[in-house]
Structure 1
Amino acid sequence: MKWLLILSFLMCLNGEIIIFDKDNNTQRWYVVNDTVMGGISSSSIKIDTNGKAVFSGEVSTENNGGFAMTRMPTNINLNKQHSKIVVRVKGDGKQYQLRLKSNESQRYSYVQVFRTNTQEQEIILPLIGFYPAFRGRKLNFGNFSANQIKEVAILIGNKKDEDFSLEIIKIAIQ
């Protein structure tokens, strides 16, 4: 218990908010595939023995499908010093989307695309760079400017059939 208090103090000290890492990995991730609209893609997310979240599966464009997503509800309050999300991943060379919602009932997401390689890498995504989108279409209003995040998600949907595997090592707000 004392270790958690010290860790919380250190997180506040440098302003970083840890959403997920090896020491903070008990959050509930949910899988949402294109099966919700008749597709046949499949995916899973599991915490491995090193505390990494491994999001993997197969995307299929059959039956008008083509995406797999994992999402995690959050309750994060942002302040003016928070300007970016830092994602540490080990990927497969494919393109993914990091998606945010600022309200539980929000139907659209704020999206930013990132490309992985096969090495562990740190990807920095400015909060202001997240654009609003719904069902793959960019919406015509401002980019992310909210003071809270209620959901974080990772989606793969590259308009082709493909297997994928993404190790999520850390997600933080700085």
Structure 2
Amino acid sequence: MALTFDSPSEQQRWYSVDDGVMGGVSKSGFCVTDGVGRFQGEVSLENGGGFASVRREPNGFEPTLADAQGIELTVRGDGRTYQLRLKSTSLGNASAYRVKFTPSQDAWETLYFSWDAFEAVRRGTLLSDAPAVTPSEIHQLGFLIADRTAGPFCLRLKRIAAVR
């Protein structure tokens, strides 16, 4: 099983954390329409900003992330680079595990990321001494765009799956 976007109520589980937390003016949101989730908005580089993100708790995955070998995304992009981010109890609150990806604009594609593909970061800086991902300690997942490019963006999602 996987997280899909068949129910419009899925939209309420996602919330934005944009660069407004540090004075920026980027804006983002998450909507669900016709079985597709959309992380969309506009990145602004004004006022020292430059990132937008959405997050949700990972409940709803079957099998659980604790049993998984990695995460699979079925996505379609817009030519920009995104990050899948995982918050874990083994890292501090301002830190996360990330993997970067640039999905196809022309077709849906399925991307697989094993746990060892993720790197630990704190506010964009790599943490060389962080522990490896422990799937059972993941308490939040999300998407972030921080490609130093101003303008609109839209990442479309059909499926997020825990892979055994």
Q: If the length of structure 1 is used for normalisation, what is the TM-score?
A: 0.81
| Counterpart code for 1:163 | P
8 Å CA contact 2:72, 2:110 repeated in 1: yes
State the partner residue of 1:124. 112
Helix, strand or coil at the partner of 2:113: strand
Helix, strand or coil at the partner of 1:164: strand
Equivalent pairs, count: 154
Pair 1:33–1:130, CA change in 2 (3 A) = same
Pair 1:25–1:127, CA change in 2 (3 A) = farther
CA distance in 2 between counterparts of 1:57 and 1:105 reads 27
User: Given the alignment, which residue of 90, 101, 105 partners 2:76?
Assistant: 90
CA RMSD of aligned residues (A): 1.9
Instruction: Determine if the alignment matches structure 1 residue 142 to structure 2 residue 127.
Output: no
Instruction: Determine if the alignment matches structure 1 residue 47 to structure 2 residue 36.
Output: no
User: Given the alignment, which residue of 160, 163, 169 partners 2:149?
Assistant: 160
- Deviation of 1:23 after TM superposition, in Å, equals 3.9
- Deviation of 1:51 after TM superposition, in Å, equals 2.2
State the partner residue of 1:29. 14
- Deviation of 1:111 after TM superposition, in Å, equals 0.5
Helix, strand or coil at the partner of 1:160: coil
Any gaps of 5 or more consecutive residues in structure 1?
1-10, 12-17
Helix, strand or coil at the partner of 1:39: coil
State the partner residue of 1:7. none
User: CA offsets, 1:103-138, max 9 Å, x none?
Assistant: 397331000001112121111111121111010101
User: Given the alignment, which residue of 87, 93, 96 partners 1:101?
Assistant: 87
CA distance in 2 between counterparts of 1:102 and 1:85 reads 15
8 Å CA contact 1:110, 1:143 repeated in 2: no
CA distance in 1 between counterparts of 2:154 and 2:5 reads 18
CA distance in 2 between counterparts of 1:25 and 1:132 reads 32
State the partner residue of 1:58. 42
8 Å CA contact 1:31, 1:43 repeated in 2: yes
CA distance in 1 between counterparts of 2:66 and 2:147 reads 31
Helix, strand or coil at the partner of 2:131: coil
